[in-house]
């Protein structure tokens, strides 16, 4: 067995991934743009809404006519017509006059405010009494109140949310340039691993990691390419791996758990030209037996065979990597949401490594309590039971019952 000769801290690994460049760009229609990442600034080519709009149902008028108006002494105005929705009003409103207007209607010439219908009492077919003063531009949206021409309305490297699609729609933008979604080739190895369609013989287990890792990719908008289970030999593995390298930006080789499988992964990585070893082991538990290498902008991962360990490594490193590849300005948005909870027992931790503890969250006496789940990292059921994970920092000896901890939710 070769010892891990290049064990890195989580911080060092993240630092070495910092130089990963975003992928190329592509153009997608608005209806496919949710959660995609903008590849360029969006500058408004026009004002929105583009005309003065009423925000209420009421009467458009010259606000000066309403000064001094009150319930006891209302101001009568002559109704000269009605603003039709979606049309430029063909009526002019002079002093002493007003026009009926609906929410969203365009203010007629001569008007600089709208009185709500609640404060206007129609006393004749063409006369309305206004019972309160209206301020200039009251109940009015200006032509450039929403968006100004020339304004950068969305910045490049932004993750597009529903409201961002809305403002793009408002500008008449039907398609946007976004970064290409990362592609991740997923390969399983290990002499003990069989496909989920097979009945395992004694000593064999089904391939779990392809599906947990694939699911985590899908959840981030990364396209998983399931390449299946590699044969037992380095040659078989190499064939599948080359297929991955030709199709994907990231190769996720979910190694067998044995030392032999790990050694083969290392040999495999080093057998390719221009491969630089980033880490051979990381000081994280669970997840130590991880091998990471770079080949230009592609990264090669020898993930731990234990499902829990592989998921922790994904959480700590691959979210960050995929955020970088996706062009995201703030990789933190690709991390899981977190809640604060009170730990319900002491947890020991070896210093010199980061520990990740699975916890279940329950509400007790109106507060969130994190209950650690004990169990080996080979047991996927412990992840099914868990609601999230808690990190114990490298230079801490552990956490105490009653500590407030941050739980990253699944």
Q: Which 64-93 residues touch its own copies, going by CB under 8 A?
A: 84-89
Q: In this complex, which beta carbon is closest to its own copies, that of residue 88 or of residue 239?
A: 88
Distance (Å, whole) CA 385 – CA 50: 54
Instruction: Choose which of 182, 305, 327, 372 interacts with its own copies (CB under 8 A).
Output: 305
Instruction: Choose which of 17, 22, 53, 93 interacts with its own copies (CB under 8 A).
Output: 53
Which pair of tokens denotes residue 131?
């019972």
**Does 147 help bind its own copies (rule: CB under 8 A)?**
yes
Which pair of tokens denotes residue 184?
């991740």
Half-sphere exposure of 333 (CA within 13 A, CB side): 16
Q: In this complex, which beta carbon is closest to its own copies, that of residue 65 or of residue 303?
A: 303
Give the DSSP per-residue string, 185-243.
EEEE--TTEE-TTSPPPTT-EE--HHHHHHHHHHHTT-EEEEEEE--SSHHHHHHHHHH
**Does 203 help bind its own copies (rule: CB under 8 A)?**
yes
Distance (Å, whole) CA 36 – CA 179: 7
What would the x/- binding string for its own copies be over residues 148 to 187, using CB under 8 A?
Answer: -----xx-----xxxxxxxxxxxxxxx-------------
Instruction: Choose which of 98, 99, 130, 311 interacts with its own copies (CB under 8 A).
Output: 311
Name the one range near its own copies by CB under 8 A: 65-73, 208-216, 292-300, 398-406. 208-216
Tell the smallest beta-carbon distance from residue 211 to its own copies (Å). Answer: 4
Helix (H, G, I), strand (E, B) or coil at 397: coil
Tell the smallest beta-carbon distance from residue 73 to its own copies (Å). Answer: 26
User: 39 φ, ψ to 5°?
Assistant: -95, -10
Region 230-249 residues binding its own copies, contact defined as CB under 8 A: none
**Does 146 help bind its own copies (rule: CB under 8 A)?**
yes
**Does 264 help bind its own copies (rule: CB under 8 A)?**
no
| Run of H or E residues at 312 | helix 307-313
Residues near its own copies (CB under 8 A), total: 95
Region 277-296 residues binding its own copies, contact defined as CB under 8 A: none
Instruction: Choose which of 379, 394, 398, 403 interacts with its own copies (CB under 8 A).
Output: 379
Sorted by sequence, the CB contacts under 8 Å of residue 135 that are 6+ apart come out as 63, 113
The full 3-state SS of 322-353, as one line of letters, equals: HHHHCCCCCHHHHCCCEEEEEECCCEECCCCC
Tell the smallest beta-carbon distance from residue 366 to its own copies (Å). Answer: 14
Q: In this complex, which beta carbon is closest to its own copies, that of residue 194 or of residue 394?
A: 194
Tell the smallest beta-carbon distance from residue 124 to its own copies (Å). Answer: 18
CB neighbours of residue 29 within 10 Å: 9
Angle, CA 342 vertex, CA 339 and CA 346 arms, to 5°: 125
Tell the smallest beta-carbon distance from residue 204 to its own copies (Å). Answer: 5
Name the one range near its own copies by CB under 8 A: 43-51, 121-129, 348-356, 363-371. 43-51
Q: In this complex, which beta carbon is closest to its own copies, that of residue 106 or of residue 128?
A: 106
């Amino acid at each position: 067995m070769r010892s891990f000769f290049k064990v890195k801290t989580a911080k060092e690994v993240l630092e070495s991934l910092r130089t990963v460049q975003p992928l190329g760009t592509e153009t997608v229609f608005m209806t496919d743009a949710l959660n995609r990442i903008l590849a360029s600034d969006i500058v408004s080519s026009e004002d929105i809404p583009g005309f003065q709009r009423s925000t209420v149902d009421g009467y458009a008028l010259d606000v000066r006519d309403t000064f001094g108006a009150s319930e006891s002494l209302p101001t009568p105005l002559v109704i000269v017509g009605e603003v039709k929705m979606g049309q430029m009003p063909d009526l002019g409103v002079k002093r002493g006059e007003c026009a009926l207007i609906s929410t969203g209607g365009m203010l007629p010439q001569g008007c600089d405010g709208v009185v709500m219908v609640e404060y206007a009492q129609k006393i004749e077919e063409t006369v309305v009494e206004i019972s309160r003063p209206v301020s200039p531009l009251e109940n009015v949206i200006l032509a450039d109140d929403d968006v100004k021409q020339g304004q950068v309305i969305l910045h490049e490297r932004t993750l597009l949310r529903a409201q961002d699609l809305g403002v793009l729609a408002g500008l008449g933008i039907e398609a946007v340039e976004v970064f290409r979604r990362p592609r991740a080739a997923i390969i399983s190895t290990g002499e003990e691993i069989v496909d989920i369609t097979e009945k395992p013989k004694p000593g064999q287990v089904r391939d779990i990691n392809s599906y947990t890792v694939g699911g985590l990719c899908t959840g981030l908008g990364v396209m998983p390419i399931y390449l299946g289970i590699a044969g037992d030999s380095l040659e078989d593995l190499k064939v599948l791996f080359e297929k991955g390298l030709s199709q994907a930006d990231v190769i996720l080789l979910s190694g067998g758990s044995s030392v032999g499988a790990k050694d083969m992964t290392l040999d495999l990585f080093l057998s390719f030209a221009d491969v630089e070893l980033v880490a051979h082991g990381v000081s994280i538990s669970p997840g130590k037996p991880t091998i990471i290498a770079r080949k230009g902008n592609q990264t090669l991962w020898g993930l731990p065979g234990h499902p829990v360990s592989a998921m922790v490594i994904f959480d700590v490193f691959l979210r960050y990597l995929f955020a970088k590849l996706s062009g995201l300005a703030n990789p933190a948005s690709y991390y899981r949401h977190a809640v604060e909870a009170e730990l319900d027992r002491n947890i020991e931790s070896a210093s010199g490594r980061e520990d990740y503890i699975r916890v279940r969250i329950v509400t007790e006496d109106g507060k969130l309590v994190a209950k650690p789940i004990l169990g080996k990292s080979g047991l996927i059921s412990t992840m099914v039971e868990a609601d999230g994970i808690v990190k114990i920092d490298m230079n801490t000896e552990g956490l105490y019952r009653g500590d407030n901890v941050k739980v990253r939710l699944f």
